[in-house]
Chains A and B, each alone.
Chain A
Amino acid sequence: MLRYLISRILYSIALLVGVLFIVFILLHLTGDPVSLMVSRQASPEEIESLRQELGFNRPLLVQFADFVKGALQGDFGNSFRYRQPAMDLVLQRIPATIELATVALIMAIIMGVTMGILGGSNPNTIWDSLARGLGLLGQTIPTFWLGLILILVFALQLGWFPTYGRETFQILGVHLPDKSIILPAFALSLFTTGQLVRFTRSAVMEVMNEDYVTTARSKGLKKMRIYTKYVLKNAAIPLISIIGVQFSYLLSGSIYIETIFSWPGLGNLLAEAVGTRDFFLVQATAFFTSFVVIGLHLLTDFIYVLVDPRIRYK
């Protein structure tokens, strides 16, 4: 087991090095990173001086070595627009995104897993149709459009929620978001809800057909006990890895939702950085998001080992 965990950790580190390489290469994709960053009116002299200043005139290998050295110390250069270290900006914005993604995930789990269990354990009933419908909706409604519709209906027409922004209240010195988080989190969660419904439904259906469930039934165990003791426990194992993957989807999917709702998180920062061609900031955001995502995958692997004895004894 220990060997498995160590190999996962080493793999994650290798992945991060790979990410650094990709992030570096992407900026050099067009051959001239400086021309991406300056305005069209810049004179050749200005461009040249910026190139000197940022060190883009040096050999690529030297640049990469420097980039990795900086990255290891958390230094991804300064944002042009904010005149601040890019990583500092990213770290300031990450709590709001984590907050949004967490609320969205909780919403998705409550709706998705419940409907999945209802649908999966009552095949070919109205519950099953509802579950399948929800699964389909999650896959066919784009989050960025759903966000706009939610604003139209629940903020503008009904006035139940603010149209945009993050408003907070204070509890024990901690600032928590108020109902302003509900619309963006719901819009963000729908895709994940759909995935969880589909997945839970088929996992429950599969487990229901297992021999041990048949045995439990023929022993005359109560329906409730069969569910809690056998069906849910076994269906939950693959769910963990799906939830891990979905959380990383929510983190990167927040780029649309945060833009629409002006939520002060990482996605908003990325959209803004891309719009103003602030590429050091884009690099820092891409790296940091990958870092969090890779960390999450590692965490799911650990949890997996804890809950599934079959892996532990391999």
Chain B
Amino acid sequence: MSEKKETAISTGLLIDEKADRSIAGKIAYVWRLLWRDKAGLLGLIMFLSVVFAAVFSPWITPHDPMQQNIEASKQAPVWGEEGTAEHILGTDSLGRDVLSRIIYGSRVSITVGFLGVMMAFTLGMIIGLISGYKGGRTDNIIMTLVNMILSLPYLVFVVFVAAILGNSLLNVILIFGFTDIPIFVRVTRGEVLRLREEGFIEAAKSIGQTTPKIIFHHIMPNLLGPLITLATFEMSAMIFYEAGLGFLGLSVPPTIPSWGNMLAMGRQYLTVYPWMSVYPGLAIVFTGFGMNLFGDWLRDAMDPRMRRKKK
């Protein structure tokens, strides 16, 4: 079996020998897989719409999210009592437009989720490669540390560190980026250990290929599938945790519109003006729902065994 095909099969991009191996062919193939599973497609569309909202916030928001207007404060959504089409989801206690703030809030969530995961992904993969490939004492030390960190009550420590470092976007990204490394290390290492036993790695070794070449050409491409799947779930989890920190007043400064900050503020008015906290929460649910649907599809698609079962 050729090395290229081996790679292709385990990343789940090709299914039979006749398939087109060019990049365009692979994309077309992934698209066909996605089209077959409507839940995964729906998830991707939901997620992409949040990304779209984050990127194009200034152009699609009906109002300036920071614009205060005491006269128009605490207005109900358009279908509520005295609601107006001017503020579709109502206004908050300072008269700021809830819909516009939700759209802008996606920026914080997507930024934290994306950069946090990128950081954990990169560092976790490097450490996991070292741990899995070197083995022996290095592996022991790294894995002991990883298991130690993973057995701590995560939320308590995240809250602790956030309180120490203070409110800022950068701090939040760093906190989640660092604390998420162990999970990526564990998954990478597991995959490396499995791959190391594969025939094509042994073949590469026996023809005298150097370690860096084996790692970059043979192991890394095979890691991407499981790691990208993990990244999807971790990003969705990070968006949750960021909102949770915001809810406790420990994420980005309160002046920045974010879903967690909106929930924290809306909570004080829950009994009389519920829309201030209900809709930002729905935005979190929407994002999480989309990412999890997509993630579930991705996990099955990356695993050829699952795909065969489904047929």
A and B held together in a complex: yes
Interface residues of A (CB under 8 A from B): 15, 18-19, 22-23, 26-27, 29-30, 36, 136, 139-142, 144-145, 148-149, 151-152, 156, 163, 248, 251-253, 255-256, 259-260, 270-271, 274-275, 277, 279, 282, 285-286, 289-290, 293-294, 297
**In the complex the two chains form, is A142's CB within 8 Å of B243's CB?**
yes
Give the residues in chain B near A141, CB-CB below 8 Å: 285, 288
Contact partner of B165 (CB less than 8 A), chosen from A30, A149, A151, A253, is: A30
CA distance in complex: A30, B159 (Å): 15
**In the complex the two chains form, is B157's CB within 8 Å of A22's CB?**
yes
Smallest CB-CB separation from A273: which chain B residue?
B163
Give the residues in chain A near B292, CB-CB below 8 Å: 136, 139-140
Given A142-B288, A256-B244, verify A270-B156 contact (CB < 8 Å).
yes
Consensus secondary structure, chain A interface:
helix
The smallest C-beta distance from B303 to any residue of chain A, in angstroms, reads 13
**In the complex the two chains form, is B289's CB within 8 Å of A140's CB?**
yes
**In the complex the two chains form, is A140's CB within 8 Å of B285's CB?**
yes
**In the complex the two chains form, is B267's CB within 8 Å of A260's CB?**
yes
Quick check: is B154 within 8 A (CB to CB) of the other chain?
yes
Number of A-B contacts (CB under 8 A): 110
* A/B interface sample: 26 pairs, CB < 8 A: A22-B152, A23-B160, A136-B296, A139-B292, A140-B288, A140-B289, A142-B243, A144-B243, A145-B263, A145-B285, A148-B263, A149-B278, A151-B270, A152-B270, A255-B159, A256-B244, A260-B267, A270-B156, A274-B163, A275-B248, A279-B164, A285-B156, A286-B153, A286-B156, A290-B152, A294-B151
**In the complex the two chains form, is B248's CB within 8 Å of A274's CB?**
yes
Interface residues of B (CB under 8 A from A): 148, 151-157, 159-161, 163-165, 236, 240, 243-244, 247-250, 263, 266-267, 270-271, 274, 277-278, 281, 284-285, 288-289, 292-293, 296
The smallest C-beta distance from B273 to any residue of chain A, in angstroms, reads 11
CA distance in complex: A190, B157 (Å): 22
Give the residues in chain A near B154, CB-CB below 8 Å: 252
CA distance in complex: A148, B159 (Å): 21
**In the complex the two chains form, is B285's CB within 8 Å of A252's CB?**
no
Give the residues in chain A near B271, CB-CB below 8 Å: 156, 163
Consensus secondary structure, chain B interface:
helix
Give the residues in chain B near A142, CB-CB below 8 Å: 240, 243-244, 281, 284-285, 288
Give the residues in chain A near B288, CB-CB below 8 Å: 139-142
Give the residues in chain A near B267, CB-CB below 8 Å: 148, 260
**9 nearest A-B pairs in the assembled complex, by CB-CB distance:** A145-B281, A252-B153, A140-B288, A252-B155, A274-B163, A140-B289, A289-B153, A252-B156, A144-B247
**In the complex the two chains form, is B160's CB within 8 Å of A286's CB?**
yes
**In the complex the two chains form, is B152's CB within 8 Å of A271's CB?**
no
CA distance in complex: A142, B262 (Å): 14
Give the residues in chain B near A27, CB-CB below 8 Å: 164
Give the residues in chain B near A289, CB-CB below 8 Å: 153, 156
Contact partner of B281 (CB less than 8 A), chosen from A30, A139, A149, is: A149
CA distance in complex: A15, B147 (Å): 10
**In the complex the two chains form, is B159's CB within 8 Å of A248's CB?**
no
Give the residues in chain A near B289, CB-CB below 8 Å: 136, 140
